[in-house]
């Protein structure tokens, strides 16, 4: 069985990657639409773009955040003219959120950005044999559970 000292280099690598991700998460990017977007904004926009007639409640459940946090993010996207809010004709109290043409373009450019920028890492994952890929998938699942304990 591995000791803590044996595991420590792996934990340090994970810690370094998470620290870098935290830095990246605070950076804004222009996905070719002339509007700087933070990762939380483009990922919210992506979720809206994937669906039609989505509301705040569904987005809050998907992201595991409060409806207030979703409303704040959506408000920023509205100001940046990337989404619009409309009354739901079937459920009068509900507001649906839709991407604008500019929002759809940002999503398209975001996907292209990742295809190019992350190509080497995607290629690494593609070349893994099934057993190695499943180990990596299991590791990522356990990392999520590990981080969940810090959030409680």
The pLDDT-based confidence of 53 (bands split at 50, 70, 90) is: confident
Average confidence (pLDDT) over 3-26: 95
SS3 98: strand
Evaluate whether 36 touches 45 at the Cβ level (below 8 Å).
no
Given a cut of 90, whether residue 47 has pLDDT beyond it is yes
Given a cut of 90, whether residue 93 has pLDDT beyond it is no
d(CA 40, CA 31): 14
Render pLDDT for 97-134 as a digit per residue (tens, 0 to 9). Answer: 999 999 999 999 999 999 999 999 999 999 999 999 99
State the pLDDT at residue 138: 97
Q: Specify which residues 137 forms β-bridges with.
A: none
State the pLDDT at residue 90: 85
Q: Kindly report which listed range (41-45, 74-78, 93-97) carries the lowest average pLDDT score.
A: 93-97
Average confidence (pLDDT) over 51-55: 88
DSSP state of 89: S
Q: Which residues of 25-41 are buried (b: 16+ CB within 10 A; e: fewer)?
A: eeeebebebebebbebb
d(CA 24, CA 97): 27
State the pLDDT at residue 27: 97
Domain boundaries, the chain: 4-117
> Which residue in this structure is represented by tokens 């004709």?
89
User: Which CATH code is given to the segment(s) 4-117?
Assistant: 1.10.10.10
State the pLDDT at residue 17: 94
């Amino acid at each position: 069985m591995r000791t803590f000292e044996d595991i420590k280099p792996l934990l340090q690598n994970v810690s370094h990657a998470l620290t870098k991700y935290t830095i990246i998460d605070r950076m804004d990017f222009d996905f070719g639409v002339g509007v700087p977007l933070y990762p939380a904004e483009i990922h919210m926009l992506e979720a809206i773009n994937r669906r039609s007639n989505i509301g705040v409640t569904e987005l809050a459940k998907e992201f595991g955040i409060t409806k207030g946090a979703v409303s704040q993010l959506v408000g920023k996207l509205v100001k940046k003219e990337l989404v619009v809010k409309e009354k739901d004709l079937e459920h009068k109290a509900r507001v649906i959120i839709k991407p604008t043409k500019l929002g759809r373009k940002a999503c398209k450019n975001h996907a292209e950005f990742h295809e190019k920028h992350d190509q080497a890492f995607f290629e690494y994952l593609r070349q893994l044999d099934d057993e190695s890929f499943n180990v990596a998938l299991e590791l990522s699942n356990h990392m999520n559970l590990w981080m969940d304990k810090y959030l409680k």
